[in-house]
């Protein structure tokens, strides 16, 4: 069994998994969560099963054949940890040899034998877009499946990256944008999220959130790291017009990676903080508005000259 981007793999046996035994399924499992469900009659008419949450339902591996005793059963699992910190589980059982090869049985009835080459990938709910293969190649997706706008100027590339294997590159002298309003997990009030950026040339970097319209930045909030004026800006866009919520001066150096943290409180307070690549806080802006309470995300660059701008790993890191 293989999976791209694995940085750790742990095999565990039944005596470790059994501590997760439950007589009911978790209320809100996330992809990669694993548990033992007892008092059921799953695919092979057994009385317990290992269940693993997938994209749209759980994977199910029956544990105990009615003709086998508990002492005969051996079931093992593999926990994968990916380079982005996410996890996934693939679980199999040989049921004491009573049912043949170890396998995983999905809720739809699809069976995977232990010798099959099964690739496992996990997309946690906290991930918005890290531009990595699990969100793209593994889902048979490209930027155009998630974003609309000036897509010709944006590419996923592997040469200049802060985390993982890919980052978003924008290479143009035009003022352009891309926005996403469906297909990804999107930050909302109560969330705290972070992303990386790097500017090269006379270009500014803008992140949109609370985007209200597909294919447009006319109605949204945005945070701009403004290289030209050496400022951090927090704005509201309404009908295509900008309203400043806060601005502060800050030296921005071409070629340096910076991290932005945005805290969107449920009362409408928005705080954006800029950090350098060592984690030191550089500057922050704060404002308040309650017109938008959900929406998509987007990216934009503009400036008087040509230049390349990079964006990497937008993810939710907490709540407020």
pLDDT at 103: 43
- Greatest Cα pair distance, the chain, in angstroms, is 76
Q: Is 231 left (phi over 0), alpha (psi -120 to 50) or beta?
A: beta
Token pair for residue 16? 């470790």
Task: List pLDDT tens digits, range 260-315.
Answer: 999 999 999 999 999 999 999 999 999 999 999 999 999 999 876 678 999 999 99
Going by pLDDT thresholds of 50, 70 and 90, the confidence category of residue 139 is: confident
Domain boundaries 127-319, CATH class:
mainly beta
Going by pLDDT thresholds of 50, 70 and 90, the confidence category of residue 197 is: very high
Domain boundaries defined on the chain: 6-113, 127-319
Do 312 and 161 form a contact (C-beta atoms < 8 A)? yes
Do 197 and 310 form a contact (C-beta atoms < 8 A)? yes
Strands 34-38 and 21-22: parallel
Measure the CA dihedral 253/249/277/271, to 10°.
-150
Rounded to whole angstroms, the Cα distance separating 308 from 11 reads 44
Do 214 and 159 form a contact (C-beta atoms < 8 A)? no
Do 166 and 272 form a contact (C-beta atoms < 8 A)? no
């Amino acid at each position: 069994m293989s999976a791209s981007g694995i940085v750790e793999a742990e095999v565990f046996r039944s005596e470790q998994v059994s501590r997760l035994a439950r007589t009911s399924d978790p209320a809100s499992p996330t992809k990669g969560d694993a548990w033992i469900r007892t008092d059921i009659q799953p695919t092979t008419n057994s009385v317990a099963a290992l269940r693993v949450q997938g994209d749209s339902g759980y994977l199910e591996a029956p544990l105990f054949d009615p003709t086998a005793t508990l002492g005969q059963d051996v079931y093992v699992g593999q926990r994968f940890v990916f380079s982005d910190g996410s996890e996934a589980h693939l679980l199999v059982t040989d049921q004491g040899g009573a049912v043949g090869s170890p396998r995983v049985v999905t809720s739809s009835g699809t069976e995977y034998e232990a010798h099959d080459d099964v690739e496992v990938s996990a997309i946690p709910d906290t991930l918005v877009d890290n531009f990595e293969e699990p969100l793209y190649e593994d889902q048979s997706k490209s930027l155009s499946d998630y974003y609309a706008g000036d897509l010709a100027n944006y590419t996923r590339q592997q040469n200049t990256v802060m985390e993982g294997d890919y980052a978003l590159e924008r290479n143009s002298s035009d003022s352009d944008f891309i926005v996403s309003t469906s297909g990804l997990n999107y930050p909302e009030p109560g969330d705290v999220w972070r992303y990386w950026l790097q500017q090269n040339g006379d270009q500014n970097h803008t992140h949109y959130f609370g985007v209200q319209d597909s294919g447009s930045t006319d109605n949204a909030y945005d945070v701009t790291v403004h290289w030209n004026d050496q400022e951090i800006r927090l704005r509201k866009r309404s009908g295509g017009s900008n309203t400043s919520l806060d601005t502060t001066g800050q030296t921005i150096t071409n070629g340096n990676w910076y991290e932005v943290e945005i805290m969107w409180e449920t009362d409408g307070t928005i705080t954006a903080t800029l950090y350098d690549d060592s984690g030191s806080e550089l500057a922050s802006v704060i404002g308040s508005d309650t017109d938008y309470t959900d929406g998509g995300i987007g990216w934009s660059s503009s400036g008087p000259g040509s230049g390349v701008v990079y964006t990497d790993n937008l993810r939710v890191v907490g709540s407020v």
